């Protein structure tokens, strides 16, 4: 298989002469075994694969995946595209995806689309051009169904995480955002809160719309009349939460509790509330969403909704790999059930209207 | 150039028939122009390129970069490998790299090595196999010079960021860590501190060794005798900083100030100090390192050393791209000059020994 050998280097002339047969002879193995091992085939025992790769590395042999993929049309590459991998919410999904793909010897190629459709399209194009096996995406805001279909119709199967796209029938995994936010608001109502604000998120993502719907549903179920000024939209990261604090504090009467679009928004809001002289958890209750690692060590520790990021990542990767192996995979969205994690930031209990009325009756 | 057209799909038979000439005819352009435009050649005006790509997309044409790269041996791919892209320090470097590469139409392929040499090697192999044009790396702890040389000798030029590898002569960019930490400690000494601890980092990375050297040098220059118990090693992230707090608080006498290996360590330490009942900035001075975005909005806002991550990323990308275009590039490490950012977390001034002595003389 001389096409496997790339003449890559003018500086290392020896490398050009190394062939599969050279490695095979050195190790006393068949050329076929060496070839399979260098393509990470499970047909070759892992210890043998490692030995072959060591020998290949030592001898300067470079396996040319480009040439190989033209023959087999399997590159071993999975493209993964999210809004922003520096956001720990996505980071935790990515870590879980990576762990699954590593186990199955797939290469993981990452991209931030920053909610820019052009950037997402360029990445899909690159994946098509490299002959990637599949993609896992948290689609950019406003992704048209046609962009997903373009990939699917060109043998680049897509799995969605965290967000959905209307009009496409592909596997998708995300937390049940409506239910999760409802749990958060119900927890506050049980502690006696009646003036509950919601900070962050906007109407652009399915995630934010679902979380807002859960917030409104919980208020309605408890016969609490929603006040439009309680809904402070926009913030989507720590900085946005910080900047929302003065707007929240300016409300009169001040809400006694606030649920946030995400943990990052809540953590930024808590920084901002502290600057305004309020102690979160003592003067006002704050609840986040996602249960990122920092929620537990924040001071005060953050009450939040565990949204199953690791499960989302794991299930998405497994589903895609199963589909690539020809298994029948359910299309459509699978919701992960969220769980409330109660910590110190929601310890504050307000004087409720009922108690105040009772007190005035006794007076 | 029929080899440009991939027969990717059994599901979309139309796509197989689209050729460069089809697109050229539809737009009234030459086939050569279309070919150049689809390879993002600057020889074609940007507006024309966009029009051609729109038409190609609409008609279902897929440009096959794999086939093309076998001919030109330029894939347009740059591999980027860091410890952990979820760490905002690396995130800010990556953002700057991405911005530069975007401008020059390069594809950016990312990988975390989590300081695992095997993972870093697998990524280098993948980049060689895909025919990447070059790599930007923050090398894993213990990276042998041979791993960098393997890439270089196979026409995969390497640029290092944030960390160095002994025994290799490649371009590298990072902040002057020794000087930066010295600035931080000198600031505390000027405010009257004499018991200054250093939390986080270990002996494994060049970064941490340099920062520790700067800390020790500043103490020595001020004739402050270093106490081994002031050096709390190990913490490298927010969680590590949080866990170091009880160890710091247990010291007797308690240091009046602490410099941290990084902002993340400092932010975690401040969470931990608050839990222990100390208010950072009022009861103890805390200084971070890196000036990540969060430093400014943290409460208290974090005094820190701006380490030039954006400049590191920008210079590294520009240097690599210039080298790919055949320009002569200086090998070896270029240090970025750090700047101290003074904020609230270092407002606390201790009663110094001098004042105490003065007070007792007056008594």
A33 and A42 in contact (C-beta within 8 Å)?
no
Task: Kindly state whether residue B6 falls inside one of the protein's structural domains.
Answer: no
Q: Which residue, chain included where needed, has tokens 């652009």? A: A204
Same domain, B231 and B251: yes
Q: Check CB contact of B242 with chain A, cutoff 8 Å.
A: yes
DSSP string, A289-322: SB--THHHHSSSPPBEEE--HHHHHHHHHHHHHH
Single pTM value for the model: 0.79
Judge: B85–A85 Cβ closer than 8 Å, yes or no: yes
A chain contacts of residue B107, beta-carbon cutoff 8 Å: 126
Question: Using an 8 Å Cβ cutoff, are A40 and A76 in contact?
Answer: yes
Q: Using a CB-CB distance cutoff of 8 angstroms, which residues of chain A are in contact with residue B15?
A: 153-154
Could you tell me if A298 and A313 lie in one domain? no
Does residue B88 lie in a domain region? yes
Nearest by Cα to A279 from A347, A205, A177: A347
Q: Are residues B198 and B139 in the same domain?
A: no
Residues 212-231 of B with CB under 8 A from A: none
Same domain, A140 and A269: no
Assign residue B43 the CATH number of its domain.
1.10.260
Alpha helices, DSSP H only, in chain B?
20-27, 31-38, 46-59, 65-72, 88-103, 117-130, 145-153, 177-190, 206-221, 238-249, 263-275, 294-297, 309-324, 353-362
* Residue A136 within any structural domain of the chain: yes
Q: Which residue has the tokens 């213990």?
A: B142
Q: What are phi and psi of B133, to 5 degrees?
A: -80, -30
User: Measuring CA to CA, how many Å separate A195 from each of A34, A260, A271, A353, A356?
Assistant: 68, 14, 21, 10, 15
Token pair of A354 as six digits: 């009922």
Say how far apart CA A216 and CA A178 lie, in whole Å.
Answer: 10
Assess if residue B279 is contained within a domain: yes
One domain for residues B205 and B329: no
Which residues in chain A have Cβ-Cβ distances shorter than 8 Å to B155? 8-11
A82 in a structural domain: yes
**The last residue of a domain, from among B36, B63, B90:** B63
Cβ–Cβ gap B57/A131 under 8 Å: no
- A125 contacts chain B (CB < 8 A): yes
Q: Is A345 on the interface with B (CB under 8 A)?
A: no
CATH number at residue B243: 3.40.50.2300
Residue numbers of the domain that contains B299: 177-307+341-356
* Per-residue burial over A142-162, b = 16 or more CB atoms within 10 Å of its CB, e = otherwise: ebeeebbbbbbbbbbbbbbbb
Q: Is residue B209 part of a domain?
A: yes
- Contact assignment for A66 to B112 by CB distance below 8 Å: no
Residue B213, in any domain of the structure: yes
In whole angstroms, give the CA distance from residue A261 to residue A267: 11
A155/B8 Cβ within 8 A? yes
Considering the domain architecture, whether residues B48 and B158 belong to the same structural domain is answered as no
Between chains, do A98 and B88 touch, taking CB under 8 Å as contact? Answer: no
Is the domain of B127 the same as that of B168?
A: yes
The residue of chain A nearest to residue B123, with distances taken between CA atoms, is A107
Q: How far apart are CA A226 and CA A223, in angstroms?
A: 9
| Residues B316, B170 within the same domain | yes
Neighbours of B47 (CB within 10 A): 8
All residues of chain A having their beta carbon less than 8 Å from the beta carbon of residue B98 are 112
Q: How many CB atoms lie within 10 A of CB B106?
A: 23
Judgement on whether residues A133 and A239 belong to the same structural domain of the protein: no
Can you tell me which residue has the tokens 């076998």? B70
| Burial class of B28 by CB neighbour count within 10 A (0 to 12, 13 to 18, 19+) | exposed
* Interchain contact, B125 vs A63, CB within 8 Å: yes
Co-location of B191 and B234 in the same domain: yes
d(CA A256, CA A352): 10
With an 8 Å Cβ cutoff, is A8 touching chain B? yes
What's the number of domains chain A is made of?
Answer: 3
* A positions 22-51 inside 8 Å of B (CB): none
Query: Are B170 and B317 found together in one domain?
Result: yes
Nearest to A297 among B57, B125, B271 (CB): B271
- Pair (A252, A347) in one structural domain: yes
Residue A89 lies in a domain: yes
Report d(CA A249, CA A244) in Å as an integer: 9
How far B242 CA sits from the closest chain A CA (Å)? Answer: 7
Q: Which of A305, A288, A363 is nearest to A339 (CA)?
A: A305
pLDDT of chain B, 363 residues: tens digit per residue: 222 222 222 333 333 446 677 888 888 887 767 777 776 766 677 888 888 888 887 776 765 554 555 445 567 889 999 998 888 899 999 999 999 988 887 878 888 899 999 889 888 888 887 778 999 999 999 999 999 998 898 889 999 999 999 999 999 999 999 999 999 999 999 999 999 999 999 988 889 999 999 999 999 999 999 999 999 999 999 999 999 999 999 999 999 999 999 999 999 999 999 999 999 999 999 999 999 999 999 999 999 999 999 999 999 999 999 999 889 888 899 999 999 999 999 999 997 544 444 444 444
């Amino acid at each position: 298989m001389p096409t496997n050998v790339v003449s890559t280097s003018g500086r290392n002339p020896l490398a050009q002469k190394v062939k599969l047969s050279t490695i095979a002879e050195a190790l006393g193995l068949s050329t076929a075994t060496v070839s399979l091992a260098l393509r990470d085939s499970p047909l070759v025992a892992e210890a043998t694969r490692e030995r072959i790769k060591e020998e290949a590395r030592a001898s300067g042999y470079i396996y040319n995946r480009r040439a190989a993929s033209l023959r087999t049309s399997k590159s071993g590459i999975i493209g993964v595209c999210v809004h922003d991998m520096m956001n720990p919410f996505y980071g935790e999904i990515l870590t879980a995806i990576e762990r699954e793909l590593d186990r199955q010897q797939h290469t993981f190629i990452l991209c931030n689309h920053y909610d820019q459709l052009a950037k997402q399209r360029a990445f899909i194009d690159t994946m098509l051009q490299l002959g990637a096996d599949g993609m896992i995406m948290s689609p950019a805001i406003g992704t048209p169904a046609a962009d997903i279909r373009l990939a699917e119709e060109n043998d680049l199967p897509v799995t969605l995480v965290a967000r959905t796209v209307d009009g496409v029938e592909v596997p998708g995994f995300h937390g049940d955002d409506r239910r999760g936010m409802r749990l958060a608001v119900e927890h506050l109502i049980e502690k006696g809160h009646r003036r509950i604000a919601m900070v962050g998120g906007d109407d652009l993502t399915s995630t934010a719309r679902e979380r807002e719907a859960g917030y409104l549903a919980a208020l309605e179920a408890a016969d609490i009349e929603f006040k439009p000024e309680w809904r402070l939209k926009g913030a989507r990261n720590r900085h946005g939460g910080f900047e929302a604090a003065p707007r929240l504090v300016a409300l009169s009467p001040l809400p006694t509790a606030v649920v946030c679009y995400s943990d990052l928004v809540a953590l930024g809001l808590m920084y901002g509330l502290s600057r305004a002289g309020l102690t979160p958890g003592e003067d006002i209750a704050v609840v986040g969403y996602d249960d990122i690692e920092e929620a537990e060590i924040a001071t005060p520790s953050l009450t939040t909704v565990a949204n199953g990021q690791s499960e989302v990542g794991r299930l998405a990767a497994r589903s895609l790999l199963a589909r690539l192996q020809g298994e029948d995979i359910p299309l459509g969205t699978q919701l992960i059930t969220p769980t409330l994690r109660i910590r110190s930031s929601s310890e504050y209990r307000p004087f409720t209207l009922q108690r105040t009325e009772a007190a005035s009756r006794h007076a």
